[in-house]
Structure 1
Amino acid sequence: MNAIVYTTNTGSTKRYAELLARETGLPAYSMAEAERSVPTGAEIIYLGWIMAGSVKGYAAAKRWSVRAVCAVGMGRTGTQTDSVRKKSAIPASIPVFTLQGNFDVKKLRGVYRLMMELMVKTAGKSLAAKPDRTPEEDDMLDMMLHGGQRVGIENLRAVLDWYGAQKERRETP
């Protein structure tokens, strides 16, 4: 594995890339930095943010050998992996990890801010009215209404376990 490459919108994905870099010793690059610094075909872990169910920047990351994808969104860590894989057309051979990010609509820009403001109004209203919300729905509603800080090293446990197994496999003769 050569590097971590990420695309971020509000900073959550960048923070996860920094935490992952600290834990693995791999260098982390924004997509723009990686295009200048990481050779085509190098093995990477790609981190991108989820927009409308797909991983932003994943298509551009295919210039490298993507070994794993970490998708950062509002949903709880470990959920929505199948739908993210399908929507982003990520092959079954590449592991997908979903990570819950932070949410602050004020950090969004342009059309993304408008879209999320609309989503908070519509989805938030129907979630608030739902009498039998799941714990995940309660968490989502809380994030929509009050924002939230969810980035944490504990959310990277599955990614770090996978990375450790890959590293061990390569080091074992």
Structure 2
Amino acid sequence: MLWFKRILFTFLILGVVALMFRDDIKEFLYDALTSYKHSYAQSKIGSSVPAGLLFYDRQGEAISAADLFQHSTWVMVYENSCSACKTAIKDALDLRLTELNQQRLMFVSLTDTLPAELAGSEPLNVYSSQEKQSGSLFFSRLSPTFFRIEKGVITDVKIGYSLESFTEGHHFSLK
């Protein structure tokens, strides 16, 4: 009887794993996660960004918050654990931004603990315990998060990216 339960349990696990690889199941899970992330990130609109938060330009150079806040700027938040993902996104957007010749895109590093004003009580990255950081801010490997900051205040949030939707250098759309 014990061997039967083990075989049944094994088939159950294999069935769940097989479902996870079906495109419609993956799409449903992705949409659910993105929707949750978007709602959470939207709640940050109107929040002030602490002046001590470190920002980096597209070349990786640090820039002061005082300089950043003089402009209306999109900020992409990423986790350092996803350097390859960050580099690919950055390179692709850098090309598009160069074509637009106006928009500035900044990157926020999550190496340091983020100020409580920007950090949520629950991190949004749910992919693995290694990637979870207490109070980490709005980023997963599937969906980078972009904030529009105007005079030190978050005025817009976009989850995911699409170069085609990056019109006028101002808009990202949900994937």
The TM tier, using the shorter chain, reads under 0.3
The alignment's TM-score, normalised by the length of structure 1, stands at 0.27
Which structure shows the bigger proportion of residues in helix conformation? 1
Tell which has more relative contact order, 1 or 2 (C-alpha 8 A, sep 6+). 2
**Greater Rg over alpha carbons, structure:** 2
> TM (normalized to structure 2)?
0.26
